[in-house]
Structure 1
Amino acid sequence: MTVAPAALLTPAQAAECQRKDALGTSRVLEVDPATYPRVGLKSFPQTLPLRDGEIVLTFDDGPTPGTTDKVLAALASECVRATFFMVGRNAADHPDMVRKVARLGHTIGYHTWDHPHLNKLPLDQAEANINRGIEAVGKALRGTESTTPSTPFFRFPYFESTPTLLDHLEKRGIAVFGADFWASDWVKMSPEEELKLLTGRLEGHRKGIILLHDAQMRTAEMLPAFLRYLREHNYHVVHIVPAAMKTVSDRSH
């Protein structure tokens, strides 16, 4: 099976949510890199098979103590699960944060060792930076180093890929994530301005992979209001996982 059409949350997962009025995670979507090697319409012609009103929350550049904690708290309050593309250097500095993200049930992807412009590096240096980032996150999670990612999801810093790197990642069975739209949260603005920008783009797209940054305090402060907006306007959050990570209980649904 490649991408599960609508794998519902298990009873155990549903029981974790104590708020009856919470936004919640509507479904789990299995992503097979063999079928979806590159997704996100800002960079690629293909994206995930989402329905109208469905969004995938993704966060880049963490983990960052303080801001990532606020993001996790906002997600937990609404019983929502997201995907975090982690910078290896940050993971090495804050392994407890990496484990916290995983313990809360979020998906962890990779975002290189130190966020370079990979398209400007020699191929061997670019691949080494990718592998070092995977190793660092893996070591933080499991205490062991490995260039084989436990979650084969990767995002290029600045979305700056090259055909050769894309080909190499595809051969390794690693899905590359772009995004369908974003909040431009790297631009100086208030949380209120970011919320207005993001909700406007959401209404235009109606669905998609959203890029945010858990290293940005403005995003951490904006997130509770955005999740409330999703709930009040009948949007649905989809949690993405690799097909191989699907549990036995999940497969029974």
Structure 2
Amino acid sequence: MTASRVIVLAALLAGMTPAKAADCPRDGTLGTARVLSVDAASTPRVGLKSFPDTLPLEDKEVVLTFDDGPAQTTPQVLAALAHECVQATFFMVGTGVTALPTLVRRVAAAGHSIGTHTWSHKNLKNLPPEQAAEEIDRGITALETVLHGKASTVPTTPFFRFPYFDSTPALLERLQARGIVVFGADFWASDWNRMTPQEQLALITERLEANRKGIILFHDPRAQTAAMLPDFLRYLRENHYRVVHVVAKAPEANVTH
């Protein structure tokens, strides 16, 4: 059996379905190499900074994720991604979703995955369980209302990331029971720290070379990240990295005989 067939079989056994990404209409771009669908039944939580397991990525494959948006700098991030025909995952805060609904719909229309990041970015670990649950549900409801015109606590894309990566066993179990995948990260840009775009590029490329693959965390509200992103995507292209787009696994259709 060839190596590529082994990879495909492993992904299927893990409950994840790889697929070829749509071709970019422009030559010479980074592009999205493939699509990986994920569900909570087989992969309830991913990201080695927080959990024992992560996504089954090959060497030099990365997943791009952005937290805390939407924000005024999000269009700049979207432009950089579009220029290179790259898809990413945005974990949005409910207050921002409600404030900037048109921008949220723009992110979705561009084909990016959108998960939730609570209603107001509170540290859920420090809240009573019922308040933590409300923070999660209000964030989901805000996104569903903006994207689908219907208030619901059932997320269309069941991806969630804890603010500050601070979770509790009870919340993790509750999210898994609801079919929601919890994303951590394998490494991050540390863009919550003030630095120049050039300094941030040097930091994230150094971490990329050390890790070789993984889920990367950025923050689209950070101006330094938005300014740095075109150069980072160019670095990926020139150094033969491949971007994987993560999507929610579609429910299996009932088969009748």
Q: TM-score interval w.r.t. the shorter chain?
A: over 0.9
Match of 2:16 in 1: 3
Mapping for residues 1-253 of structure 1, pairs under 5 Å: 2-4=15-17, 6-9=18-21, 13-14=22-23, 17-65=24-72, 67-244=73-250
The 3-state SS of whatever aligns with 1:7 is: strand
Q: In the comparison of the two structures, how many residue pairs are matched?
A: 239
Runs of 4+ in 1 over 6 A off after TM superposition: none
Q: 1:18 Cα deviation (Å)? A: 2.9
Whole-angstrom CA distance in 2 between matches of 1:34 and 1:25: 25
Whole-angstrom CA distance in 1 between matches of 2:154 and 2:147: 13
Q: For structure 2, which runs of at least 5 residues remain unmatched after alignment?
A: 1-11, 253-257
Query: Once the two structures are superposed, what CA deviation does each residue of 1:33-85 show, in whole Å capped at 9, x if it has no partner?
Result: 111101000000000000000000000000002x1000000000000000000
Whole-angstrom CA distance in 1 between matches of 2:171 and 2:68: 20
Letter in 2 for 1:216: R
Whole-angstrom CA distance in 1 between matches of 2:200 and 2:251: 34
The 3-state SS of whatever aligns with 1:147 is: coil
Whole-angstrom CA distance in 1 between matches of 2:91 and 2:210: 25
Given that residues 39 and 180 in structure 2 are in contact (C-alpha distance below 8 angstroms), is that contact kept between their aligned partners in structure 1? no
Between the two proteins, what is the percent identity of the paired residues?
A: 61
Letter in 1 for 2:228: M
Q: 1:27 Cα deviation (Å)? A: 0.2
Calculate the TM-score normalised by the size of structure 2.
0.91
Q: 1:245 Cα deviation (Å)? A: 7.5
Query: Once the two structures are superposed, what CA deviation does each residue of 1:120-157 show, in whole Å capped at 9, x if it has no partner?
Result: 00000000010000000111111111000000000000
Given that residues 89 and 112 in structure 2 are in contact (C-alpha distance below 8 angstroms), is that contact kept between their aligned partners in structure 1? yes
Whole-angstrom CA distance in 2 between matches of 1:164 and 1:32: 19
The 3-state SS of whatever aligns with 1:27 is: strand
The 3-state SS of whatever aligns with 1:215 is: coil
